Amino acid sequence: MVLLLVGGTLLKIALAGTYVRYVKVGLRGYLVAAGAVLVAVALASLVHTLWTAGSRRAGHDHDVDDGHGHSHRGFDPSWLLVAPALALLLIAPPALGSYAAARGGTALAAGADSDYPPLPDGDPVRISVLDYADRAVFGKGHTLGRRAVTLSGFVMAGDHGHRYLARMVITCCAADARPVKVGLAGDLPPDAAPDAWLEVTGTYTAQTDTDPVNGQPIPYLAVTSARSIPAPAQPYES
């Protein structure tokens, strides 16, 4: 029953699409395969148990008699798997947001000698929060110039009343998620509270902050327009 519950949970979140709150998009096929295998094993075990139940002998049971006519079964730790499975089925925890981002240092993937390709055509051009932060910090904004760019992410509060646009970046799953933060300079919607999702358009500015968690630089974007948006189907960047 535990295998059936865990396998069914994997299939549910993979087929419903909510798995992107916990792992990378490309892992969907693996989740479906793993869930199908677990369900198949569970059903095979159930059939085997029912088939052999009538022929089992009492002497083969592994109960422990305490000397008073009572028998006790030891706790099977596999039942502990029920807790996370039920949490995914019944509660469906949301993707990581501002609470996790505020407790993690900003993570940039590039190096100081990185070469960046020119921005795509268009005005404004839509790029990821990670791409903007890399170009702004390590590329010194040279490839950004005065081009208008559009970013999307959730709002998090910074020091001294500053607000950041953040996005969690994952390598495999939410367990290794780290935030990338971009400061927002300019007028923002009045409902831009922490965890609210925004789409912002602006231009590069040399203004920076220092992340209090790991001391790394946080670049800023000079915001020219901003609007509230619903949380995207794929909340993480990679």
Overall average pLDDT of the 71-81 stretch:
69
What distance in Å separates the CA atoms of residue 111 and residue 59, rounded to the nearest whole number?
Answer: 67
0.85 cut: is pTM over it?
A: no
Cα 216 to Cα 133: distance, rounded to the nearest angstrom? 11
Instruction: Map out the domains of the chain as residue ranges.
Output: 2-91, 98-228
First vs last Cα of the chain: how many Å apart?
35
**Which alpha helices (H) appear in the chain, and where do they start and end?**
2-16, 28-53, 82-86, 98-102, 129-137
Structure confidence by residue, pLDDT tens digits, 38-64: 999 989 988 888 888 766 655 555 544
| CB-CB contact of 137 with 221 (8 Å) | no
* pLDDT score at 144: 94
Distance CA 196, CA 101 (A): 13
In one-letter notation, the amino acid at residue 119 is L
Whether the upstream peptide bond of residue 235 has omega within 30° of 0, thus cis, is no
Q: What was the pLDDT predicted at 189?
A: 85
* Helix runs in 17-171, H state only: 28-53, 82-86, 98-102, 129-137
pLDDT surpasses 80 at 28: yes
Buried b (16+ CB within 10 A) or exposed e, 90-102: eeeeebbbbebbb
pLDDT tens digits, residue range 78-112?
A: 778 778 777 777 777 788 999 999 999 998 765 54
- The residues near 97 (Cβ < 8 Å, ≥ 6 apart) are 154, 156, 194, 195
Domain 98-228: which CATH class? mainly beta
Give residue 57's pLDDT: 53
